[in-house]
Structure 1
Amino acid sequence: MLFALHAMGVGLAFLATLARADVSWTATPFNPHSIPLAVRSPYLSAWLPQGAGAALNDVFPTFWTGSILGWAGFIKVDGAAYSWMGNANVAGASFSKAAQKSSHFTATQSTFVLSAGPVDLTVNFLSPVEPTDLVKGSLPFAYIALSAASTDGAAHSVQLYSDISAEWVSGDSGLVATWSTTTGDIITHQAQLQDPVQYSENADHTQYGSAYYSTRNTNNVTYQSGSDVSVRSQFINNGVLTNEQDTNFRAINDDWPVFGLVHDLGNVADASAPVVISIGHVRDPAIQYITAGNVLQDRSIYAWSQYGSVGDMISAFLGDYDNALTSADAFDAKLQADASAISDNYAAICALSIRQAFGAVELTVAKNADGSYNTDDVLMFMKEISSDGNMNTVDVIFPAWPVLLYTNPSLGYYLLEALYRYQESGLYPNKWSIHDMGSSYPKALGHNDGSDEAMPVEGYGNMLIMALSYTQKTGDLSMISAHVDLLDQWTQYLIEDSLIPEEQLSTDDFAGHLANQTNLAIKGIVGIGAMAQIASLLGDEEKASNYSAIAASYVTQWQQYAMSTSGDHLTLQYGESDTWGLSYNLFGDKLLGLGLFPDSIYEMQTAWYNTVTQPYGVPLDTRHGYTKSDWEIWTSAIVTDTATRDVLIQAVYDWAGNGQSDAPFGDWYETADGSADGFRARPVVGGHLAHVRGLNRCSVVSAHQNIRQLIL
C-alpha cells in the first residue's frame, strides 16, 4: 500500500507514535533500540540493549554483536542493597532493584537516574569524542561517573559497587583468562587471555590485548577479584570488598571471574562528588598494514606516541575527567544546536549516531627504525562492523563521510591515505579502485590477488568525491596533488563506463548486480565533475574544461536514458519505466556544489517520493521493500521542500525507536513494518550528519605538519 506524503502525513505520525516503544521512565530524546555505554573502538563497544525497553538493571550490557559483557552494579543505602546495573542473580545475598527514573543520551554521553530507597543514583557513561586531538581521540577508554543524592532531606550511608567480568577479553567464554590487580595512586584490574593470538578475532572480539577497570585509590575504595557470586555477595552482605585477589586462573565461564571496586561515600545528603571509573581495552600493536615491497608493518594507536605504558594512559585519562566532561558537553551542545536547526528529531538521530560512527575507527602511527613513534606517519582504520568485517571499505567510508567533514576532515584524509598508499604500491593488480584494505580486521593486508569485491564505478566515484570534498572543506591541496595521477586514472574509467554502467554492484551489494543503474550512473558523472574541479584546483584548466564538458554532456544523455516514459520519476534501471529508487547519489552533486544536474530533476524526485512513502520511509528501490537510514537522510538533504525532508527524517527517527530491535542503530530495515534486516552498529550512521556536514568552518594547518589538526 502506497501513502501520499502530504495527504497521509498526520496518519504516518500517528502510526509512528503507536509503533514507538513505551517505557516506565522518562526517556529523552527517545528510547532507542540500544543505548551506547562505553563505545570507543571496534573492541571497546558496550551497549544497553533495549528492544521494547530495558532499564539499566534489567539486562547485562552487551558487545555490539549482542554477546553479554559482564558489567554489574550495586548500591547500599543504610545497609539495604539494590542493583543498579546488570541482571545478576547472586545466590546467598538479598537485594532489591533500584527503580529507573530516567535515561538520556547525547552525542557523547548516556545518563541514567535510579532510585534506591531514599537516595537517587546518577550514572553517567561518557565516551569522549575528540576528533581534533589525536592523542585523546585515540585512547581506547571510556568513563563511568556515579553520584548519589538524598531525596528526603536526610543524610544516608551510601556505598557503591561495580565490576566487570572476564567476558571483556574474548568472544569465546571457554578460553582461559588471567588477571591481576595493581594498587598505588590508582587501583587497576587487568584481564587478558592466557594464550592470546595477535591480530585475531573470535566472534568479532579481539583475541589479544587486555581489558582494564580502574579508579583512583582513595581511603574509601576497596577491591576484590573472584567468582561473580563470591565478590558480589561480599559487597551485598558487608558493604565492602576484601582487597584480595583470586589467583585461580580459569576459563571465563568457570565460576565467572569478576573484578570489583567499591567506593564508600559515607553519609550523603546533597549530591556527592562523582566517583569516576575508567574502562578500556588496549592491545599493541593494533593494526597490521601491508606496505610497498609486500612488507608487513605493525602499527600502534596514536596515543602510544604520548605515553610509555598503559598505566600512564589510565592515569592521564582519569586525571583528565573534568576536562573531558567539559569538552563533551561543548561538543554535545554544538551538535544539538547545529542539528536542531533542521529539527529536534534530526538532532536526536545525529546524537545517537556519533559514538557508533567513531567506535568503528582506530587512529594509528608507525615506528621509526629506532623504535620511536613516527607521528608524521598517521593512518586511520575503520572496521566494517557487522556486514563483513572488512577494513577501510571504500563504500562504507563514503556513507560515513559527512561525520568526518563535520568533526575533522583530516580524519578522512588518514582513512583514505591507507588506501592510496596501497594502490600506488603496485601490489594491487586490478585497474579499478580497491574495495577495501583487508578482509578481516585488524589485518590490512590488501588484496594482492585482486580478489576483493569489485565495485568499479562505485569505488572510483566515491574516491573522487571524497578527495574533492576534503580539499574544498580544508583548503589543503596535498591529497589531490599527491595522488592526481591515480585520480585521473580512475576518471578515465568513469568516462568509459559511468554513462551506461555495465552489470556490476553498487554499494547496496545485498541487492545484487544490475546493469544500467540510474543511481550508479549519477555517481560516476559526479566523479567526472569532481575531477574537473580537482584539475582546476591544480592549475590544469585544459583538463578541467574537458572533464566539465564530458560531465555536462553525460547529464544530458543520462536524462534521456534514466527518465520514465511517464516523465514523473527516474528509473532504477534504464528503459524500465515501472522501476524507481532513491537517487541518493545526487547528494554528491550538492555536496561539491557542482550544479551538474538541473533543478527539475530534484523537484521531480521530491514529488515522486511523496507518492511512494511507506510508514518507515521510501524503499531503496522497487526490487525490495527495505531501505537504508543513511540513504534516507542523504535523500532528505537534497529534496526541494521541507515537508518531504521532514517526513524522511521522521521515518528514520521512528525506526530508531520503534522497539522492534535491541541492536545498536541498524541502518537496513523494512519500510512497511519497521522490522530489521540484519546490519547493526555500522559506521555508516556517520552519514546521518549530511545536513550539518558543512557547518564547521575549518582552517587547516600545513599538510606537512605531523598533526593534521583542524581548528573549528
Structure 2
Amino acid sequence: MERIPSVPLVVNDPYFSIWSPADRLTDVNTVSWTGKKMPIKATLVIDGQPLRVIGTDEHLPAMRQSDLVIEPTQTIAAFEAAGVALELRFAQRFDLSKLETIAEPITYFSAKATVLDGQAHDLKLSVSLDACITYEHLEPGRLAARHFDMSNSQSVCVGKSRQTPLNGSGDLTDIDWGYLYLACPADGRSQVNAVSDWQDHALRGDLDLSTTAEAVGHLLIAYDDVQSINYFGHIQSAYWKQEWPSMPALLDRRTVELPEILADCQRLDRDLDQQAETVGGDAYRLVCATAYRQAIADHKLIRDETGQPILLGKECTSNGCLGTVDVSFPVSPLFLAYNPALVQALLRPVFRFAALPAWPYQYAPHDVGRYPYATGQVYGLSHPRTPNDGIHLEGFDTVPMLYQYPANADLYREYYQMPLEESADMVLLACASDAKLHNGFVAQHRAQLLSWADYLIQNGQDPADQLCTDDFSGHLAHNVNLALKAVLAIGALGQSLTEAGLTAEAGKLIDAAKRMAAQWEQEAASTTDTRLAFDKPETWSTKYNLIWDDLLDLHLISPEVKQRELNRYQAELKPYGVPLDGRDTVVKADWLMWAASEAVGTADLTQFVTPLAKFLHETPDRVPFSDRFDAVSGRDIEWYNRSVIGGVFMPILRQQQLAEKAAK
C-alpha cells in the first residue's frame, strides 16, 4: 500500500476538497483540507453482513483494506472479505489541456466488486455524504433537498434553505452556500436519495453489486457553488456554467460519457506517471502523483466579464489571499508544462489591479484579494487594529471594494510588501508563458512590464531590507537569491522584447542584465558556492531561482556557479531533504525541486527526490502535502494543501525544455 500523509478523495476546488487523513479509509472520518469534519461514509453489505469501507462506526466492523494506490487523477483503494474483493476509485478528470475538465466540480466515484470464491454473492454498497459539507453556519433544520430525474441519470442535491452566496472570506474556512449533488446512471441498479435522521442530513447513493463474477457501479459527486468569485465588482460564476444551464444537465451528460471519462483518467495517469518515472524514478512518480490534484484544486477557474479565462488560486493555510503572485510563481512549472495559457490566466487579475489608482506603486502587487473576493490586495494593509477603520479583516469577514479606493487612500504599508519578489515573478511568468505560446502577451503588457523591470534595475542589484516569498524567515537585506531573480527577470524581458522586434528597449535590458549578472557572480561568491546575503561571507542558501537561467536560455550565470551550488546541496542533505538555507532545518518542497532541477538528466536528481518521497511515507502529520517541513524530524511546519506544491513539476518542465532543444 502506498502511504501519503492525507489521501485525496473529493478534490475539486478550495471549497470542495475532502480528504482521508490516515493509512486506511476506515481508520478515520473524512475531513476538509481545513480540518472541518466532512463525513463521507460507505458500507458494503455482503450476503447480509455489513462492513465499513469508508469512515468510522464503532458498531460496524471494517472490511480489510488490502491496497491503496495514489495516481495523479485517481485514488484507488482495494478491500477483501468473505470471498469478495472491492475496488473503490475517486477520480477527478484534471486534463490541463482542456479547461472544462478542471472547471467542472465533479468527482467520479466507481465501485467494482469481484467474486473470489466462485460463489454468487448479494452485494449492496451504500455511500453517504453529510450535508454539513454545504455550510459553515446553519439555523436548525434549515436545509432543502431536491431530486431530479433526467434522461440518462438521476440526481439529488442538498443545501441551505436560505442561500447567501459569497457571504464571507478567509483562510481556514469552508463554503457556506451552494448545493451538494449526488448522481447515478438510470440503470435500475443504482439510486440516489436525500436522507435525514432528526438533525442529521445526508445524500446517499445505493449500488447493487450482486454478482457471480464482477459488477461495477458509479456515482458522481458534485458541487454547485451558485456564485464563485467577486471579481472586481462583477459576481462571476464558475467557468463551466457558460456551457451548461444547470448542474443536473451537466451530470446527465457526464453520466453518458462515464466510460470515456474514466478511460481518460487512466490515460492521464499513465502519461504523467511515465514522464515522472523517466525524469526521476518511482520516488518522483509518487511525489508528482501526490501533488497533482492538490495543486490544481487550490484554484478556481472563472471567466471575466469579457469572457477571458481567469484562474484564481487560494493561498491555503498561510492567510487565504487570492491570486498571490509569489504563490502563482512556484506552481507555474505545472501549468507551463501542460498548459501555459493557465499561467496567463493567473496573471491577468494582477495586471488589472496594478493599473488601478488604488495601487500607486512602481512595483507589482502581492495579491488581488482574499478568497473568494478578488477586490484588491489585502496583504500588508495599513490600518489601525480597530473595528471602525473599514478595512480591518477578521475571521469570515467579506473584503471591501479596495480596488475602487483612490490613490491617496494610503491602503498599504510598504514595510510589508515584496517589491522585488512580486515584480520579478510577474516578469518571469509573463515572458515564460509568451515564449511557449507566442501570443503577444508580453507586448500587450509591455508598458507595465517595462516599469517593473526599471524598478528591478534600480533596486535589484543589492536588495534593501525587504520581504521575499520566504517571508516566514522575516526581512533580509542584501538577499542574494532575490537579487538573482531580479537579474534573470530583466534578462527575460529583454529576450522577449527582442523576439517581439522591440530591439531598442530590449538591448538596454539585456545590457543591464549582463552587467548585473557579472557583478552578482563576483559579489555573491563564497569559498565554496554562493552566500545567503552579500554581507554574510560564509553563509549559504538554495538558489532555486537559478533554474530560470536554463529554462529561458538566458546564459547569464556560468555553469560553474550552478555546479558548485549542486555540490553544496548534496553536502547539506538531511533525512527529508535540503534545508532552504543555513539558518535552520526548514525544507521548502517546491524550492527543493527547483534547485534539484539543475541535476535533471543525471543520477544526482534521485538524491533530492528520494528524501521528499520519504517524507510522504513517514511524516507523522496527517495533512495534505506540506510544502514546508523540518528536514530532520519530518514534521509539518504550519503550511499544507498549498498550490505551491505544483513546483515539484519543475524537473519535468526542465526535461521538456531539454528535449525540445535536442529536437531542434
Q: TM-score, normalised by structure 1?
A: 0.84
The amino acid of 2:647's aligned partner reads G
Residues 647-686 of structure 1 aligned to structure 2 (within 5 Å): 647-686=607-646
CA distance in 1, matches of 2:95, 2:375: 24
Residue 160 (1) aligns with residue 122 (2): no
Pick one of 229, 234, 242 that aligns with 1:305. Answer: 242
Aligned twin of 2:338: 407
The amino acid of 1:390's aligned partner reads C
Mean Cα deviation higher: 687-696 or 530-539 = 687-696
Closer, same or farther: CA 381–195 of 1 in aligned 2, 3 Å: same
Pick one of 416, 434, 438 that aligns with 2:347. Answer: 416
Does structure 2 retain, via aligned residues, the 8 Å contact 1:166–1:177? no
Residues 627-642 of structure 1 aligned to structure 2 (within 5 Å): 627-639=587-599, 642=602
Does structure 2 retain, via aligned residues, the 8 Å contact 1:406–1:695? no
Q: Secondary structure at the match of 1:356?
A: helix
Aligned twin of 2:583: 623
Does structure 1 retain, via aligned residues, the 8 Å contact 2:138–2:160? no
Closer, same or farther: CA 175–31 of 1 in aligned 2, 3 Å: farther
- Provide, for residues 508-537 of structure 1, a one-character-per-residue CA deviation record: whole Å limited to 9, x for no partner: 111100100000000000011011112202
CA-CA distance at 1:543 after TM superposition: 2.1
Aligned twin of 2:381: none
Residues 495-644 of structure 1 aligned to structure 2 (within 5 Å): 495-564=457-526, 567-639=527-599, 642-644=602-604
CA-CA distance at 1:201 after TM superposition: 4.4
Q: Secondary structure at the match of 2:576?
A: coil
Aligned twin of 2:453: 491
The amino acid of 2:426's aligned partner reads M
CA distance in 1, matches of 2:180, 2:552: 43
Closer, same or farther: CA 316–223 of 1 in aligned 2, 3 Å: closer
Residue 462 (1) aligns with residue 406 (2): no
Pick one of 38, 50, 55 that aligns with 1:81. Answer: 50
CA distance in 1, matches of 2:620, 2:238: 37
Residues 177-196 of structure 1 aligned to structure 2 (within 5 Å): 177-185=142-150, 186-196=153-163
CA distance in 2, matches of 1:177, 1:654: 46
Does structure 2 retain, via aligned residues, the 8 Å contact 1:286–1:298? yes
Q: Secondary structure at the match of 1:149?
A: strand
Unpaired runs of 5+ residues, structure 1, are: 1-26, 231-253, 291-295, 368-373, 698-712
Closer, same or farther: CA 347–676 of 1 in aligned 2, 3 Å: same
The amino acid of 1:194's aligned partner reads S
Closer, same or farther: CA 541–655 of 1 in aligned 2, 3 Å: same
Q: Secondary structure at the match of 1:96?
A: coil
Residues 424-463 of structure 1 aligned to structure 2 (within 5 Å): 424-446=355-377, 447-448=402-403, 450-451=411-412, 453-463=416-426
CA-CA distance at 1:645 after TM superposition: 2.2
Pick one of 289, 303, 306 that aligns with 1:351. Answer: 289
CA RMSD of aligned residues (A): 2.0
The amino acid of 1:271's aligned partner reads E
Q: Secondary structure at the match of 1:100?
A: strand
Aligned twin of 1:169: 134
- Provide, for residues 297-321 of structure 1, a one-character-per-residue CA deviation record: whole Å limited to 9, x for no partner: 1111111111111211221222222
CA distance in 1, matches of 2:236, 2:138: 28
The amino acid of 2:338's aligned partner reads T
Mean Cα deviation higher: 346-355 or 555-564 = 555-564
Percent of aligned pairs sharing the same letter = 25
CA distance in 2, matches of 1:388, 1:114: 39
Does structure 2 retain, via aligned residues, the 8 Å contact 1:528–1:548? yes
CA-CA distance at 1:505 after TM superposition: 0.7
Pick one of 253, 257, 263 that aligns with 2:201. Answer: 257
Aligned twin of 2:384: none
Does structure 2 retain, via aligned residues, the 8 Å contact 1:176–1:194? no
CA-CA distance at 1:63 after TM superposition: 0.6
Closer, same or farther: CA 444–312 of 1 in aligned 2, 3 Å: farther
Pick one of 177, 185, 189 that aligns with 1:216. Answer: 185
The amino acid of 2:489's aligned partner reads G
Q: TM-score, normalised by structure 2?
A: 0.90
CA distance in 1, matches of 2:94, 2:140: 33
Residue 314 (1) aligns with residue 277 (2): no
- Provide, for residues 614-651 of structure 1, a one-character-per-residue CA deviation record: whole Å limited to 9, x for no partner: 11111111222111000110011014883442211112
CA distance in 2, matches of 1:586, 1:660: 32
Relative contact order higher in (CA < 8 Å, ≥ 6 apart): 1
Does structure 1 retain, via aligned residues, the 8 Å contact 2:148–2:156? no
Aligned twin of 1:31: 3
CA distance in 2, matches of 1:435, 1:68: 32
CA distance in 1, matches of 2:78, 2:139: 35
CA distance in 2, matches of 1:308, 1:640: 47
Aligned twin of 2:213: 270
Aligned twin of 1:103: 68
Aligned twin of 2:115: 150
Does structure 2 retain, via aligned residues, the 8 Å contact 1:41–1:362? yes
CA distance in 2, matches of 1:139, 1:439: 22
Aligned twin of 2:270: 333
Does structure 1 retain, via aligned residues, the 8 Å contact 2:13–2:297? yes
Residue 61 (1) aligns with residue 30 (2): yes
CA distance in 1, matches of 2:84, 2:138: 36
CA distance in 1, matches of 2:99, 2:601: 39
The amino acid of 1:525's aligned partner reads V
CA-CA distance at 1:445 after TM superposition: 3.5
Mean Cα deviation higher: 438-447 or 585-594 = 438-447
Closer, same or farther: CA 380–457 of 1 in aligned 2, 3 Å: same
Does structure 1 retain, via aligned residues, the 8 Å contact 2:358–2:411? no
Does structure 1 retain, via aligned residues, the 8 Å contact 2:303–2:309? yes
The amino acid of 1:379's aligned partner reads I
CA distance in 2, matches of 1:604, 1:641: 17
Aligned twin of 1:391: 322
Residue 40 (1) aligns with residue 40 (2): no
Mean Cα deviation higher: 404-413 or 177-186 = 177-186
CA distance in 2, matches of 1:422, 1:189: 40
Q: Secondary structure at the match of 1:156?
A: coil
Q: Secondary structure at the match of 2:42?
A: strand
CA-CA distance at 1:105 after TM superposition: 1.2
CA-CA distance at 1:42 after TM superposition: 0.7
Aligned twin of 1:114: 79
Aligned twin of 1:15: none
Aligned twin of 1:12: none
CA-CA distance at 1:176 after TM superposition: 5.1
CA distance in 2, matches of 1:694, 1:613: 22
Mean Cα deviation higher: 117-126 or 602-611 = 602-611
CA-CA distance at 1:172 after TM superposition: 4.3
The amino acid of 1:554's aligned partner reads M
CA-CA distance at 1:222 after TM superposition: 4.6
Does structure 2 retain, via aligned residues, the 8 Å contact 1:99–1:114? yes
Q: Secondary structure at the match of 2:262?
A: helix
CA distance in 1, matches of 2:655, 2:349: 27
CA distance in 1, matches of 2:355, 2:263: 42
Q: Secondary structure at the match of 1:502?
A: coil
Aligned length: 620
CA-CA distance at 1:33 after TM superposition: 0.4
CA distance in 1, matches of 2:127, 2:570: 51
